[in-house]
Structure 1
Amino acid sequence: MSETEFEVTVDKDGTELNRDSSTYTATERSESQVIATEYDFWLFDFDGTIVDVEWEYTRSVFDRVGNQLGMSFSDNEVEQLWHGLGESRNAQVQSLGIDTDTFWSALHEVENPTARAEATYLHDDAAVLLNELHAANIPIGVVTHCQSFLAEPVVDYLDIGDWFDTFVTCTPELGWKPDPDPVYHAIESLGQDPSKPTAGVLAGDAPSDVGAAWNAGLAGLHIERHSPEQRGRCVLGDYRVDSLDLIRHQNSIQ
């Protein structure tokens, strides 16, 4: 999780969309039309899309944060904050009466990169799709808000470094999704022309991933790891799936 993650969806012209979930449509195209090989390259978000963290680790992190702040977090508050569900994380923190800078400082202090890596697991559907894309020689990249000091130990622990042709960690200098700049950086790192990015797709579990895809001229695929009821809204996208298996099963990659 990152204090810098945007929790809004933006339209293709960069305009923020209405947050009222009743105004959202689920998808623009059905899952059956997701054809993996019609794209020249694939970009992915990391946390929540390719990997996730065991609940015990997440719960223990918030217990330690709570001890530092002299308060406790409910399981629902932990779930919402960790996965970025509902309103923005900073808005949720403020609603709990906590200064946002104080919260993020405490969280970063208690996070242990090694312990987090050991508690991280691959989503099976993502692993299969990534291996099939790799076998088809389709370039693969990651654009993530997960900072290097946390992401690198995870990649090493899971031994998946050779799955990706580029791995971009967002920074204040590079920008944060839905800003297209980190996406452009990833496209260039793949040897592609970011001024002609229409042959690529970006898949992620957050509204900011679809926003970044659209702002960079890519197709946006939303993988819904949590129900719209948990999130409090549906997320617009060119594609919307609740499992990456849908892509693999419906479109065999030769």
Structure 2
Amino acid sequence: MPSPSDYDVWLFDLDGTLVDTEWSYTREVFDRVGDRMGTQFSDREAEVLWHGLGGSRNVQLREWGFDPPAFWDAFHEIEDPQARAEATYLYDDAAYVADLDAPVGVVTHCQEFLADPVLDALDVRDWFDVVLCCDDDTGWKPDPRPLELALGDVGADPDHDAVYAGDAASDVGAAMNAGLDAVHVERHAPEKRGHCVLGDHRVESFDDLFDARAE
């Protein structure tokens, strides 16, 4: 297992990695999106799409017969930034991030209008030297470009030893495509995901990752 001193830069995913949202909020969002689209999302479908358990959300939507642009338009119209912030909590083991003595960044698919209120409500914005919210211009994980942009924003060059930690297969893919070490934090049982995600390091909690330095 690595220790914090093993890397010059630490990058993290946000949703499902450092923070998560109360199920009641998630369920309400999918109920409202379903009403807007004239369909219903099961609990399983909502969980898979919210956490990206099936891999690419757009691919999953198409497999289930949903139009991705229509889904995302409805999703972003319905989500209320303040309500989401109030329903979002910080994982206990994310506290390690505040103590990292290196440049630290977030690279997330969460849109800026949603991510900003969450970071402010949880009072963790000052943990990060850069927050990059992916869009069509930056590209989407597992494309490496968002990670490369974040590294550039903190002044890191290709020779820096950097790592990216996330809970999804796309996070591990982005890290590998960018030439970074990948930490997969498994917040869900593999049977829910339907497969294992294998990074350079695979942990169930950041306790497993950071406490290893004391052994």
| TM band (smaller chain) | over 0.9
Contact map agreement 1:36 1:247 (CA 8 A) in 2: no
* Matched residues, number: 214
Show the counterpart of 1:220: 182
Give SS of 1:179's match: coil
Note the alpha carbon deviations across 1:137-194, whole angstroms, 9 max, x for none: 221111111110110011111111110011111121111112222111111211211x
Give SS of 2:165's match: strand
Change (3 A) 1:177 1:95: closer
Show the counterpart of 1:235: 197
- Within 1, Cα distance between the matches of 2:105 and 2:77? 29
- Of 121, 141, 151 in structure 2, the residue corresponding to residue 157 of structure 1 is 121
Show the counterpart of 1:196: 159
Give SS of 1:62's match: helix
Q: Which has the larger radius of gyration?
A: 1
- Of 95, 119, 127 in structure 1, the residue corresponding to residue 87 of structure 2 is 119
- Within 2, Cα distance between the matches of 1:123 and 1:131? 13
Contact map agreement 2:98 2:127 (CA 8 A) in 1: yes
Contact map agreement 2:55 2:169 (CA 8 A) in 1: no
Structure 2 gap segments, 5+ residues each: none
Alignment of 1:1-254 (within 5 A): 33-127=1-95, 129-133=96-100, 137-193=101-157, 195-197=158-160, 199-252=161-214
Change (3 A) 1:234 1:190: same
Give SS of 1:174's match: coil
Change (3 A) 1:91 1:174: closer
- Within 2, Cα distance between the matches of 1:125 and 1:159? 16
What is the aligned-residue RMSD (CA, Å)?
1.4
Note the alpha carbon deviations across 1:200-254, whole angstroms, 9 max, x for none: 11100111111111121111110011111111111121000011111222214xx
Change (3 A) 1:183 1:92: closer
Shift of 1:132: 2.4
Contact map agreement 2:33 2:74 (CA 8 A) in 1: yes
State the TM-score, normalizing by the size of structure 2: 0.94
Give SS of 1:203's match: strand
- Within 2, Cα distance between the matches of 1:89 and 1:171? 15
Structure 1 gap segments, 5+ residues each: 1-32
- Within 1, Cα distance between the matches of 2:55 and 2:202? 20
- Within 2, Cα distance between the matches of 1:158 and 1:185? 25
